[in-house]
Structure 1
């Protein structure tokens, strides 16, 4: 058996405490049946930034005892990066609302596609890998969060992977104040 990296040791110890206090949770199929209720269910697409905890931000129960949203997280909370998951989760859960939540002080506003490409290109000499890296979009945000929110909401509204009747709401989270603001997307 391989040695556990020291960075994980504390996490595993906290997990032990978590497991000891954990209450019973529903099975996946029980949750699935609850999520199939028409005009109910929320999916949140947001950033992987550890300063964002959608369950805490929206006062949600993490134990899945109540109806709860599905949360998809990635660098920048970009919807183009989440489309496969959105399609799968929409097919099996039928959420009536998708929330696109970007935030202030996001890393994708500080590190742009060119920065990410340069780092990745420095790691390989393989021509095929270099081509793949060059042709990939990494989700940079060149303006304020409102701009990327509008871009991502529009992408979802035009996507064949999202039902046309699904409500799509853009939200900006202020990491310093802890507040959310709905962003109007015409």
Structure 2
């Protein structure tokens, strides 16, 4: 949801190459999963790129996510949640990143590659 993040620029996408789902807090919720389900069924999504970022205002009870290690853990949790969802096709590759808003670096944290199961 943060205007400092420009997914097309971060990943080099051209107009129409990607769909973007943004939400406050950046966590995978039921709404996110539902939106991704629609994207895979109607728009033929081939991959999911999940990005959490530094310097994010989050729920005060969950401030541990603000550290880099906390962000990496939340990315891993959300990629696992997507992979475990029966609504996300197992052939879709899922990648998890942390974006540093201070230096514009993008770090891959984890990936869940397609399975034919």
Q: TM-score of the superposition, structure 1-length normalised?
A: 0.53
More helix by share: 1
Secondary structure at the aligned position of 2:96 is classed as strand
Structure 2, gaps ≥5 residues long: 113-117
Matched, 1:179 2:101: no
Higher relative contact order (CA 8 A, sep 6+): 2
Runs of 4+ in 1 over 3 A off after TM superposition: none
Partner residue, 1:53: 6
- Supply the distance in 2 between the matched residues of 1:78 and 1:162 (Cα, whole angstroms): 16
Q: Is the 8 A contact 1:102 1:172 kept in 2?
A: yes
CA RMSD of aligned residues (A): 1.8
> Which has the higher Rg, Structure 1 or Structure 2?
1
Structure 1 residue runs without a partner (length 5+): 1-47, 115-139
Task: Tell me the TM-score normalised to structure 2 length.
Answer: 0.81
Q: Deviations over 1:5-31 (max 9, x none)?
A: xxxxxxxxxxxxxxxxxxxxxxxxxxx
